Amino acid sequence: MTFKDCVTPSSRGFVFVTKNYLLSILNHKVFPLATASLFSITMLNATLIKRIDITPELVVLRVEPDAGVPEFKAGQYVALGLPGAAPRPASFPAEDPAPDPTKVIKRAYSIGSSPTVRDYFEFYVAIVPAGSLTSRLAMLNEGDRLFCGPKVTGHFTLAPVPSSAHLIFVATGTGLAPFTSMMGLEETWVPGRTITLLHGVRHLEDLGYRDELEQLQEARGSSFRYIPFVSRAAPPASGLSGHVTRFFEERLAPYTPETHHILLCGNPAMIDAVEQVTVTQGFTVHSKKEAGNLHYEKYW
Ligand SMILES: Cc1cc2nc3c(=O)[nH]c(=O)nc-3n(C[C@H](O)[C@H](O)[C@H](O)COP(=O)(O)OP(=O)(O)OC[C@H]3O[C@@H](n4cnc5c(N)ncnc54)[C@H](O)[C@@H]3O)c2cc1C
């Protein structure tokens, strides 16, 4: 492969070095470190424009992709990434083995902003100190560059849910993101439909978006109910102690498989537990093959 094979002429007369050429240099181990970093840097196609720290382990990140925000459906996700060479906090557990510094570590993140927001994607991210990517995202400052996958994907949307159905959204931690995106769309608020949002966290301060959700409850009146569940501390006045599964075990509000769809997102143990209870109450898991009224997105 020659350099000529690997460059693309641009409309302004410049040439762009293609990924294949950079890879061929890497494979031949010519200038290994410098070209490796160059390769990673060329992959960074987005800028962090806003960072809001909810707690040391929960952050809201607004990311502006260079190519703009593509069309997407509320509930879908994209990949975010940083090179293995990106710094991590010294206080976090050391990595053994350390990842390849030249490779971009990528993970999926649900888009929390509404599809009507066209300037940036908003993400709600849990920092996992031993995690490969989030321990690096933890060090990002506004203005820093990162990778944001150009392809938005995912089936955890309201597309298969009839507009006549009432909705019960169930999130643990950052599993709230797809629901903030859905609730940001006016078409989700079908007249006559009720939306109940259960948000399960360990501590009161982990209730990200609480102010916005309380304001939404005031604005939407009887069509929206926000119920925070706090498992390891006293809940707020509007909330309950324990886990979100309580809502279904104790039937804390009326719902039926004929009138409601349940959407679950976050911790897989919560999703399995709620599925177990609600299946005995007549709900069926939605799949590509068979329509159901229980939908979920497991984060790990
Ligand atoms: C479709 C999809 C959408 C996702 N959207 C989000 C999102 O919007 N926000 C988000 O924070 N994460 C989200 N995740 C999880 C995310 O992709 C990563 O797995 C997570 O950020 C950890 O990456 P890491 O490289 O730091 O950890 P890794 O080194 O990959 O370690 C993974 C471990 O981290 C823990 N973990 C993973 N996700 C979480 C979490 N959210 N909260 C607490 N512990 C976790 C689990 O123990 C898991 O086994 C999503 C996952 C999927 C599959």
- Are residues 144 and 190 located together in one domain of the fold? no
- Are residues 200 and 114 located together in one domain of the fold? no
**How many angstroms does the Cα of residue 223 sit away from the middle of ligand 1?**
31
User: What are the angstrom distances between the C-alpha of 226 and each of 126, 165, 177?
Assistant: 21, 18, 15
Taking CB atoms and a 6 Å cutoff, what residues make up the pocket around ligand 1? 77, 107-110, 123-126, 128, 131-134, 154, 173-174, 177, 297, 299-300
In a domain, residue 4? The reply is: no
- Are residues 179 and 289 located together in one domain of the fold? yes
- Are residues 186 and 115 located together in one domain of the fold? no
Which one of 116, 148, 180 terminates a domain? 148
- Are residues 170 and 288 located together in one domain of the fold? yes
CATH number at residue 98: 2.40.30.10
- Contacts of residues 291-294 at CB distance under 8 Å and 24 or more positions apart, as own/partner, are 291/160, 293/165, 293/257, 293/260, 293/261, 293/262, 294/261, 294/262, 294/264
- Pocket residue to mutate for ligand 1, from 57, 172, 180, 300, most atoms within 8 A of Cβ: 300
Closest C-alpha to ligand 1, atom 51? 299
- Are residues 292 and 174 located together in one domain of the fold? yes
What pLDDT score was predicted for residue 22?
Answer: 43
Q: Which residues contact 126 (CB under 8 A, 6 or more apart)?
A: 57, 58, 134, 173, 174
* Number of structural domains found in the chain: 2
What pLDDT score was predicted for residue 34?
Answer: 55
What pLDDT score was predicted for residue 26?
Answer: 41
Q: Which residues contact 6 (CB under 8 A, 6 or more apart)?
A: 17, 18, 20, 21, 24
In a domain, residue 19? The reply is: no
Which one of 79, 113, 148 terminates a domain? 148
In a domain, residue 210? The reply is: yes
In a domain, residue 52? The reply is: yes
Closest C-alpha to ligand 1, atom 43? 126
Output DSSP code: residue 291: -
- Residue 297 Cα: closest atom of ligand 1: 1
Take residue 232 and report the two structure tokens written for it: 């390891």
pTM of the model: 0.90
Q: What does the CA dihedral 58, 64, 68, 70 come to, rounded to 10 degrees?
A: 0
- Are residues 110 and 172 located together in one domain of the fold? no
In a domain, residue 29? The reply is: no
What pLDDT score was predicted for residue 16?
Answer: 37
- Are residues 199 and 259 located together in one domain of the fold? yes
- Are residues 240 and 183 located together in one domain of the fold? yes
**How many angstroms does the Cα of residue 207 sit away from the middle of ligand 1?**
18
- Are residues 177 and 127 located together in one domain of the fold? no
Closest C-alpha to ligand 1, atom 35? 128
Cα–Cα dist 247/242, whole Å: 10
Residue with tokens 């604005």: 219
In a structure prediction context, what are the per-residue pLDDT tens digits for the chain, which is 300 residues long? 333 333 333 333 333 334 443 444 344 343 444 555 666 677 999 999 999 999 999 999 999 999 999 999 999 999 999 999 999 999 999 999 999 999 999 999 999 999 999 999 999 999 999 999 999 999 999 999 999 999 999 999 999 999 999 999 999 999 999 999 999 999 999 999 999 999 999 999 999 999 999 999 999 999 999 999 999 999 999 899 999 999 999 999 999 999 999 999 999 999 999 999 999 999 999 999 999 999 999 999
Cα–Cα dist 149/124, whole Å: 16
- Are residues 182 and 137 located together in one domain of the fold? no
Closest C-alpha to ligand 1, atom 21? 134
In a domain, residue 103? The reply is: yes
- Are residues 179 and 135 located together in one domain of the fold? no
Domain limits at 65?
Answer: 46-148
In a domain, residue 99? The reply is: yes
Q: Which residues contact 239 (CB under 8 A, 6 or more apart)?
A: 207, 227, 228, 229, 230
**How many angstroms does the Cα of residue 158 sit away from the middle of ligand 1?**
22
Which one of 121, 148, 175 terminates a domain? 148
CATH number at residue 180: 3.40.50.80
- Residue 136 Cα: closest atom of ligand 1: 26
In a domain, residue 81? The reply is: yes
